[in-house]
Structure 1
Amino acid sequence: MTVQSSVSGTPHPYQDQQRDTGERVADLLGRMTLEEKAGQLFHAMVTMGQGGALADDPARAPGGTTARQMVTDRHMTHFNLLGAGSPGEMARWHNRLQETAADTRLGIPVTVSTDPRHAFTDNPGAAMAAGPFSQWPEALGLAATGDPDLVRAHADAVRQEYLAVGLRVALHPQIDLATEPRWSRISGTFGEDADLTSRLVTAYIAGLQGPGGTLGPDSVAAVVKHFPGGGPQKDGEDPHFPYGREQVYPGGRFDYHLRPFTAAIAAGATQMMPYYGMPVGTEHEEVGFGFNRGIVTGLLRERLGFTGIVVADWGLITDSDIMGEPHPARAWGVEHLAPAERLLKALHAGVDQFGGEHCTDLLVDLVRGGRLDESRVDASVARLLAEKFRLGLFDDRRHVDPDAAEEIVGRADLRAAGASAQRRSITLLKNGPAADGPLLPLTGRPRLHLQGVAAEAVGDLADVVADPRDADLAVLRLSTPHEPRPGLFESFFHGGRLDFPEERLKEILALLDTVRTIVVIRLERPAVIPEISDRAAALLADYGADDRAVLDVLFGRAEPGGRLPFQLPRSMAEVAAGRPDVPQESPDPLYPFGHGLAYRSTAP
């Protein structure tokens, strides 16, 4: 739908795709009311209705306001989609939302964003399981391959599938460095090494940009996060929660964590997200990064030369209800300020847009009350509109084809590429006691006892037996231990200790003492497993792989190609003694960074 400028039907300059982006932005900005400008600075969460309908029940809408209300009443045009349906339903929902936006006075199109949705993690605060999309290993698994070409192919698959359903902004990649092994967000990173992460983020952005090599109508914009690096969390706690708000640099490695962001800017990143954390013990003000002018303006814009959009992480300004639980605004260091004061401080820091918020009235009141110059709002709106123009949203990319979405999302070649990447990322840490020679790959048709593996995945590879004493071998799948936390939302963030509780460890070791056991551990974080490593017949790590992928590797139908993207510490004492900002610090890790065996050779 095209909005016409007059009875004559002549388009406004901003609707003319033959004109320069700067000219189109200037024309549209000059036509906008303050309220319409304010709407652009907020990026709220929305859900789909049944069958791809717009969800019009405020009682079921995040924040109590529907997408339709936010478009028509608050003039908002940026939304973060939660949940999923079939590809056709997602496409139809997107089109309906675009039609709602097209019917407004200026017809500014909607931009829809999403957290990662191509792997295994299902955390409403970080990522969604793949569902109808092709399923790949987590970012850690991509890092384990060490292959920029694979990462670019992954991001290109993401681009194709997102485009098909109208998702135009990826709230990823996450390029924090995993230097504090207890941190709950490690699975979304490329590990602890700045050089590896820099190479991979460059490839990732190129894949999202697509064949054109720059952001355009066939691209998905990347929101690179979390500036200036969210890894050095005190005690590994996460700043989604008040007890995790402190980010510390006892090793003096602040600049080390900046290196991947420098690479992302050089690669053409157009959006950047500061994290919730507040720097403690540095030269910078001890307030959350989204409120921190020295970080956003001084460091990101002036020192590093970033000219794109700065998107604040979700929920900085107002308190919220998450999964039925009250959560305070993540206004760390400025908790004492009223929401309007927090908004003003973040704008002065250099933030362009506020995630998870729709308090447009606060912004209007700041300008009308003379506390904020409208030119400051204009600067952010201009950046946001320019991104829409570059993505082609005012032109041919406003609507998507639901039938094409059904064909593209989860297409056979994309699923096959994801399945291959799962297998390739698996890391062989140990392959049999040295005296006995390699155990893997398995041959023949052994009797297998399975724990944590679905029997139906075995197929014709082996015979499954219930009693480990009747088995030739056992296969045990584990996940990195974590400490249970109170609260439903909090429970999705797997933090705390990295070793198994005593009783669970006894159970595991009892199995290992009963039958030769192949242990496959899903590394969300660097697990502490020295006893398991010592007594396992073989030990492998995965970073998101289905049971069949694991079995194919065990039986030699695929080669394990991964290498550890971080150290595996030998003890919790070693973890506690480490400095959160320093990579590869353990003097004697159980397995070092980069360790990984192959079937062709037992040498790392």
Structure 2
Amino acid sequence: MRAARLTSADGVEYRDLNGNGRLDPYEDPRLDVPTRVDDLLGRLSLEEKVGLMFQTVIEAGTDGSVLERPGRISKSPTSVVVTEKHLSHFNVHALEDARMAARWQNNLQAIAETTPHGIPVTISTDPRHAFIENAGVSFTAKAFSQWPEPLGLAALRDAGAVRRFADIARQEYVAVGIRAALHPTLDLATEPRWARQAGTFGQDPDLVTELGVAYLKGFQGDSLGPGSVACTSKHFPGGGPQKDGEDAHFPYGREQVYPGGRFADHLKSFPPIIEAGTAAIMPYYGLPIDLEIDGEPIEPVGFGYNKQVVTGLLRDKLGYDGVVVTDWELVNDNHVGDQVLPARAWGVEHLDPHGRMERILQAGADQFGGEECVEILLDLVTQGRVTQERIDASARRLLAVKFRLGLFDNPYLDEDLAATTVGRADFRAAGYAAQAKSVTVLVNGVPDRATADGTTVLPLGDGLSIYAENLSTAAILEHGKLVDRPQDADVAIVRLMAPFEPRSDLFLETWFHQGSLDFPPGLVARLERIAATCPLVIDVVLDRPAVLTPLLRFASAVVGSYGTSDEALLDALTGTIAPQGRLPFDLPRSMDQVRRHDEDVPGYDDPLFPFGHGLDLHERSS
């Protein structure tokens, strides 16, 4: 049931969140945020304050209902976690339909209003506007407008375009009640084997900084307000230089290394993002090896546990006083179905959950990501290991964001507006154009594989007979005739994923593309046979770099894409929408070059294709 809207004696309309029939300062929309926070903080029980310090996964009913049972990932029934554990920050995964998402959000806020002070819920999400489906990292667009991955936005080299994307995403998020974004990702793509590069803006710290600030401004605006989505910028102090390219989600990838001495490059984007007003910052899981900051050796424990990094560097040196939320599941092992994933307690594995939580608070974090174990924090306070003042400091930061977002004044949504905003035609058109424009032409008609009259292969003409692999029939038929054999084709078009080595059937790990960047020799040989029959155009989906060297022996044209539908790719290849992409990272010549390369250093001395490479559509390869 919604809180009563009352009018005070002096004519102020307000929501009576605590049901006492009078206008309290925290309910007064005229007052400034610090005043409202101070008033509410003094009213809250310890249990309510502690509940603010946890953010966990929540699952929505597809019919707009709340889930009143544990889900596949969520641990508790919704009403239990909101009214008994007092959580009010949740990360949502599947949202299939905009109207039902808005209805679910309204039902969730109605439950939140039954708590003693009616603290509204803040819903967060990982990116959900592109192509990669990876729970805990990103989701495919579904009902939302679809855009390239952030690497593709980086390939556009246009901060204005990035801000426009983020503003569109903001409007779609707000329409369904998503008011917090667990992005942008400011990590540098310096280690080509690392699995999470698609979510970055590439290898160059200056470009990452420029685009990261534009992205933040698109979501938050020039200041955080009722129309904003609060961003969590990550991963402090810069993820990406993972030893041998393995990811710190997993025990074998916990080490973050700086053999090239380039820590400053990875940190570079954070002072500007702090200056731009990021609402929150997330440290990475990584455990730093042989790292020194200003001559001081840094303890080899995961960044979320590291007081030298979170308090010493982020808060004291960089002056950040906003919310710090840990990455997911630093305290407890995670149970998903019959699988158990160990807590990412790198360097402090010997501590029990109480000790881990205490260590995280000592480091300077405000909120535990992926956890709902409020009983542990309450027990730490009872034992005298965590003070009430320490709880208040974090609760104050977290409440301030809710007030600035306007959630205390009106958290409810218009279902009709949600249905007409999410996936709006002009939003989809803008995303589609960005998909095509981000395509990067790497090779086009090298001399010994040019067309019969010596011209470039791209753009493709309309009406050609096309042999295709990994493209939809509908996309081909928009531009030509589909044939079953290369021998009957004027041109062959083949889409390939950047190579990776499947690891296991563990939750999360199956979605991470890790390991070698080499294409299988059998695939290369088969493609070469196609190229002997007709001109071959290859698109490689670059969710991370690939070793393209063997393809250059026989391909007539090679392009890279970063989240582009089949239809948008064909529009790019035919010049219907001219591709403009430039590489957001170097492409290596070989895996030997990758293995010799320092994980923290952007780029190579002699790459196959350098950062920034990209041909105009009619430009011949040299």
Q: Work out whether residues 5 and 11 of structure 1, in 8 Å CA contact, stay in contact via their aligned partners in 2.
A: no
Query: Map of 1:306-345 to 2, 5 A cutoff?
Result: 306-322=320-336, 324-345=338-359
Q: Does the Cα contact within 8 Å between 2:493 and 2:537 map onto a contact in 1?
A: yes
Contact kept, 8 Å, 2:69 with 2:78, in 1: the verdict is no
The answer for the alignment partner of 1:473 in structure 2 is: 491
- Report the counterpart of residue 374 of structure 1 in structure 2: 388
> Which runs of 4 or more aligned residues in structure 1 lie more than 6 Å from their structure 2 counterparts after TM superposition?
5-8
1:480-499 to 2 correspondence within 5 Å? 480-489=498-507, 490-499=509-518
SS in 2 for 1:123: coil
Paired residue for 1:458, among 458, 464, 476?
A: 476
CA contact (8 A) 1:5 1:12 kept: no
Q: Does 1:420 align with 2:439?
A: no
AA matched with 1:127 = S
Q: How many residues align?
A: 599
What per-residue deviation string (whole Å, max 9, x for no partner) do you get for residues 63-115 of structure 1?
53122211011011000001112100000001111000011111000000000
Structure 1 portions without partners, runs of 5+ = none
Alpha-carbon separation, structure 2, partners of 1:307 and 1:159? 24
Match among 64, 67, 73 for residue 52 of structure 1: 64
Task: State the distance in 2 between where 1:4 and 1:553 align.
Answer: 55
Relative to structure 2, which stretch is displaced further, 557-566 or 260-269?
Answer: 260-269
Give, as a single letter, the amino acid of the residue that structure 2 aligns with 1:143.
A
Tell me, yes or no, if structure 1 residue 92 matches structure 2 residue 110. Answer: no
Is the 2:462–2:574 contact (alpha carbons within 8 Å) kept by the matching residues of 1?
Answer: no
Structure 1 length as normaliser, TM-score?
Answer: 0.97
Percent of aligned pairs with the same amino acid: 50
Q: 1:445 to 1:8 in 2, by over 3 A?
A: closer
Cα–Cα, structure 1 residues 460 and 492, in superposed 2: closer, same or farther, change >3 Å?
Answer: closer
Task: Give the aligned partner of residue 594 of structure 1.
Answer: 612
Instruction: Provide the C-alpha distance between the structure 2 equivalents of 1:50 and 1:5, rounded to a whole number of angstroms.
Output: 28
Aligned residue for 2:155, secondary structure, equals helix
Q: Who is 2:48 aligned against?
A: 36
Which residue in the other structure is 2:75 paired with? 64
- Determine if the alignment matches structure 1 residue 578 to structure 2 residue 597: yes
CA drift at 1:303 = 1.1
Could you tell me how far 1:12 is from its partner in structure 2?
1.4
Paired residues for 1:216-231 under 5 Å: 216-231=225-240
- 1:569–1:590 Cα contact (<8 Å) kept: yes
| Cα distance change on mapping 1:516 and 1:177 into 2, 3 Å | same
1:133 aligns with 2:144: yes
Distance in 2, matches of 1:599 and 1:528, equals: 23
Does the 8 A contact of 2:56 with 2:370 survive in 1? Answer: yes
Cα distance in 2, alignment partners of residues 460 and 16 from structure 1:
58
Is 1:167 matched up with 2:186?
Answer: no
- Note if contact 2:72-2:337 (Cα within 8 Å) is conserved in structure 1: no
Q: Alignment partner for residue 557 of structure 1, among 569, 576, 580?
A: 576
Is the contact made by 2:280 and 2:325 (CA closer than 8 Å) also made in structure 1? yes
Deviations 1:547-580 (A, max 9, x none): 1111111111111100000000000000000000
Give 1:250's aligned residue.
259
Match status 1:147 vs 2:158:
yes
Q: What is the deviation of 1:50? A: 3.1
Deviation (angstroms), 1:321: 1.5
Please point out which of 401, 421, 425 is paired with 2:414: 401
Alignment partners' CA distance in 2, 1:55 and 1:493: 28
Return the alpha-carbon distance in structure 1 between the equivalents of residues 330 and 522 of structure 2. Answer: 41
1:63/1:5 CA distance change after superposition, 3 Å: closer
Partner of 1:116 in structure 2? 127
- Do 1:55 and 1:61's aligned partners in 2 also have CA atoms closer than 8 Å? no
Change in Cα spacing, 1:102 to 1:298, as seen in structure 2 (3 Å) is same
Matches of 1:228 and 1:6, distance apart in 2: 40
Work out the CA distance in 1 between the residues paired with 2:273 and 2:217.
10
- CA distance in structure 2 between the aligned counterparts of 1:6 and 1:476, rounded to whole angstroms: 62
Please give the alpha-carbon distance, in whole angstroms, between the structure 2 residues aligned to 1:523 and 1:473.
Answer: 22
In structure 2, give the amino acid aligned to 1:598.
D
Deviations 1:230-275 (A, max 9, x none): 1100000001000000000001111110011122112111200001
Counterpart of 2:562 in structure 1 is 543
SS at match of 1:334: coil
Asked if 2 retains the 8 angstrom alpha-carbon contact of 1:52 and 1:85, the reply is no
1:5 CA displacement:
7.6
CA deviations over 1:4-42 (Å, ceiling 9, x no partner):
388872121101011111111011111111111110000
User: Is this contact kept in 1: 2:72–2:336, CA < 8 A?
Assistant: no
Contact 1:63–1:321, Cα closer than 8 Å, also in 2: no
Q: CA deviation at 1:125?
A: 2.1
289, 311, 318: which one aligns with 1:297: 311
